[in-house]
Amino acid sequence: MLTVTLLAKAYNTSQRKLVDNFLKFTLKGLKVKTENCEVTPRGWVRIVLSGEDEQVALNYLVEEVGLCPSRLEDVEKNATLKGRLTSMSKSKDELSVDIGVSAPMIIDATISLQRLQAQLVDGRKVALKKIVELFGLRENLPLEVKVLGVSEENGHVEAMLSEKQVKQFKTWTQSLLDRLIIIGSTDYEVKSALKKAGLDRDVVDIKPLGFFEHAVVCKLGTDAKGLIPKIGKNLRNAGFAIFSPKRIIEFLDYSFLDD
C-alpha cells in the first residue's frame, strides 16, 4: 500500500471526482486500486495505491502526472520541481511556490525578487508587483522551479525559476499572442464557455498547464483581457490572469527579442 500526493490540485469536490475517474480509467487493466482520493489542506490530491501492480501504477503516475514531495526531507538541492504559486500578498521581496511539502509542516519554496529580476526583466530593479502584473502571475498558477538550497533546521527551501519555465515565458512573449490564464476549470468547461460566447475564431489553442489550469492562446490582434467579461459568467469559480507580450515588450523596450 502506497500513499502519494499527485501533482494536481482540485478546487472543488466535483474536480476531485474527475481526478478519481481519470485514475481509474488510466490504470484500467492493472491489478491496483486507488482509494481515499482526498485533498490536502492546500488542495493537492492524495491517493492510496494498493494491489499487485501498485509499483507499476506508481511508476506510471510519476511519469505521466507527477508527484509532490510531501516531506521536506524529500526535497533535494538542484532538483527541478513543479508547484503552484501561493498568495502574493504576503511579501514584496519574494514569491512563494507551493511544492506540496506538508511535513513536518507546510513549507513553500521561495524565489527572491532579485532572482526574478535577473531571470525575467534583465536584472532591472522592477518591483515584484509589476513583475506579477507583466507575467500574469496569480495564485495557483503552475510554475516549475529549481531548488537552490534546503534548510531542514530552518524549514526553508530557496529556489529560482527553472530554465524551462523562463524559456516558456520567453517563447510566449516572442509569439506576440495574448494568453488568458484560467485557473480552476476543466478543459471542457473552458471550451464550452468559449463556444457559448462565440469566441472560437478568436482562439488559436487551449494549452493545459495542469489538470484544472489552462492557457487560452488568442489569435494575433485579440486582446485576452476582453475575453474575461464574455466567458466569466460561465466560469464563475475560475480565476483569470493576462499574459500580454505587447505589454512586456513595451516595458522591456524589446529586449526579449534581441536574442
What pLDDT score does 35 carry? 82
Task: Reply yes or no on whether the pLDDT at 1 is more than 90.
Answer: no
Give me the chain's average pLDDT, please.
Answer: 93
Q: Is 246 helix (H, G, I), strand (E, B) or coil?
A: helix
Integer Cα distance of 142 and 45 in angstroms: 15
Task: Reply yes or no on whether the pLDDT at 140 is more than 60.
Answer: yes
Integer Cα distance of 43 and 17 in angstroms: 13
CATH code where residue 211 lies: 3.30.70
What pLDDT score does 174 carry? 96
For residues 219 and 194, membership in a common domain is answered with yes
For residues 31 and 76, membership in a common domain is answered with no
Write the CB contacts of 22 (distance below 8 Å, at least 6 apart in sequence).
211
Number of domains in the chain: 3
Residues 26-48 have pLDDT tens digits of 999 999 988 877 889 999 999 99
For residues 139 and 112, membership in a common domain is answered with yes
Considering the domain boundaries, does residue 16 fall inside one? yes
Identify the domain containing residue 205 by its residue range.
179-243
Percent of the chain clearing pLDDT 90 (strictly above)? 85
CA distances from residue 1 to 16, 17, 44, 164, 242 in whole angstroms, order as listed: 21, 21, 19, 34, 42
Residues 42-99 have pLDDT tens digits of 999 999 999 999 999 999 999 999 999 999 999 999 999 999 999 877 778 999 999 9
Widest CA span in the chain: 59
CA distances from residue 48 to 5, 25, 31, 136 in whole angstroms, order as listed: 9, 16, 14, 35
What pLDDT score does 256 carry? 43
For residues 55 and 129, membership in a common domain is answered with no
